[in-house]
Amino acid sequence: MKKILQDLSFGELLALVESGGEKPFRAKQIFEGLMQGKRISSLPVPAPMRERLLSEYEDEPVAIREVFTSKDGTKKFLFALADGNLVEGVLMKYQYGNTQCVSTQVGCRMGCKFCASTLGGRVRDLSAGEILGQILAVNRSEGGTLKDRAVTNVVLMGSGEPFDNYDSVVRFLRNLTAEGGIRISARNVSLSTCGLVPQMKQFALEGIPLTLTVSLHAVTDGERRRTMPIANRYSIAEILAACDEYFEKTGRRYIFEYSLIEGENADMGHAESLARLLRGKPCHVNLIRLNEVKERNLKGTSEETAQKFLETLQQMGISATLRRSMGSDIGGACGQLRARYIEGGQR
Ligand code: SAH
């Protein structure tokens, strides 16, 4: 595979252009063109310069392979990377804007028992430009521009553990928010982690005030270990302390994801323990009914149980919402589409 031009910051691109003896304004042309989702081969620069770039860099590092549209308007995208690997993403349409969910790795090695992304382990990390490329491709195909964006919010909740690919994710976030690019503000970005405590602490020092989201899914370490192997490394207490550190450094409230699994974490006793655990913290709880993955024998709760769980949290003073499951008719749960696609031999 060649290198990926979309990995570079504007400053790095400028240095590249100048080292090739070209005028600095070319860097701006290239950066802008790439951020508009253009391929190198259609950049408005002199042909010899395009040829030089093409000899070293991938023309189209992230290509939309297929689009599935749900009845509720949610779109699921299957992206092909330059080496033939596939990743998926979703675009959800809300009143306040369009949120794109992006992948940070091909597969995942965290091994959570309820998640389809981790079934085949981790294949490889995505580079910063491959993460950004998913957004640039969707913004373009949905008719967005750099001024009038079709993608206004981003969540790092596709396949992969963002903090297991730390450097590329931070680089991606800097380019996502950079002047002259697509400029999605960190405030409109959520990063979801299964709770890699050292990276959470490191990230608090990066000066990127996004919404930190932690997949909790249990109220005790013992129960958490049953579904999330990472709980053998870090305790809930350590995670909560890292969240508080993030709040102190950034002033941003954090969010806990809690997927309701029948017979596992969804009793009213769990709701009460969760409320006690989080009482007084600057946080919000996002409940979601488990999206059943056919390779796993875990069951989601009924809508009624989910509602009762929500009310219990709220009555105990916890800010919480029950997330609507969007796009379930097109394989909404993590990694489901890619898994089905590979399984079907459609590659
Ligand atoms: N690796 C990151 C991002 C993963 S996906 C993390 O662990 O946070 C985003 C969220 O979806 C996580 O909270 C994850 O635990 C949850 N999730 C994964 N599979 C799910 C399923 N089948 N049903 C409901 N939620 C699921």
Domains assigned to the chain: 1-60 (1.10.150.530), 61-343 (3.20.20.70)
Note the pTM of the prediction, 2 decimals: 0.95
218-233 burial code (b ≥16 CB/10 A, e <16):
bbeeebbeebbbbbee
Closest CA to 308 of 283, 287, 324: 287
> What is the number of the ligand 1 atom nearest to the C-alpha of 296?
22
Using one digit for the tens of pLDDT, what is the confidence trace for 299-318? Answer: 999 999 999 999 999 999 99
Geometric angle at alpha carbon 137, from 153 and 178, rounded to 5°: 55
Find the 2 Cα to ligand 1 centroid distance in Å: 32
Residue 217: its pLDDT value, please? 98
Compute how many other C-beta atoms are within 10 angstroms of the C-beta atom of residue 36.
Answer: 17
Strands 75-81 and 62-69: antiparallel
Does ligand 1 lie within 6 Å of residue 103's CB atom?
no
Using one digit for the tens of pLDDT, what is the confidence trace for 125-164? Answer: 999 999 999 999 999 999 999 999 999 999 999 999 999 9
Residue 96: its pLDDT value, please? 86
Tens place of pLDDT per residue across the chain (347 aa): 999 999 999 999 999 999 999 999 999 999 999 999 999 999 999 999 999 999 999 999 999 999 999 888 899 999 999 999 999 999 998 888 999 999 999 999 999 999 999 999 999 999 999 999 999 999 999 999 999 999 999 999 999 999 999 999 999 999 999 999 999 999 999 999 999 999 999 999 999 999 999 999 999 999 999 999 999 999 999 999 999 999 999 999 999 999 999 999 999 999 999 999 999 999 999 999 998 888 888 999 999 999 999 999 999 999 999 987 666 666 655 555 555 555 544 32
Residue 72: its pLDDT value, please? 84
Strands 105-107 and 122-125: antiparallel
Does ligand 1 lie within 6 Å of residue 333's CB atom?
yes
Compute how many other C-beta atoms are within 10 angstroms of the C-beta atom of residue 286.
Answer: 18
> What is the number of the ligand 1 atom nearest to the C-alpha of 108?
1
CB 201 within 8 A of CB 242: yes
In whole numbers, what is the pLDDT of the chain averaged over residues? Answer: 93
Backbone angles phi, psi at 121, to 5 degrees: 75, -170
Does ligand 1 lie within 6 Å of residue 259's CB atom?
yes
Six-digit token pair at 164?
């297991």
Q: In what order do the strands lie in the sheet with 211-215?
A: 62-69, 75-81, 86-94, 97-101, 153-156, 189-193, 211-215, 254-260, 283-289, 320-322
Does ligand 1 lie within 6 Å of residue 293's CB atom?
yes
Residue 42: its pLDDT value, please? 97
Six-digit token pair at 129?
């430009």
Residue 335: its pLDDT value, please? 53
Q: On the CB side of 269, how many CA atoms lie within 13 Å of its CA?
A: 4
Dihedral (C-alpha) 119, 124, 129, 130: value to the nearest 10 degrees?
Answer: -40
Q: Which residues are part of the catalytic machinery? A: 88, 334
Find the 276 Cα to ligand 1 centroid distance in Å: 23
Residue 347: its pLDDT value, please? 28
Geometric angle at alpha carbon 131, from 130 and 132, rounded to 5°: 90
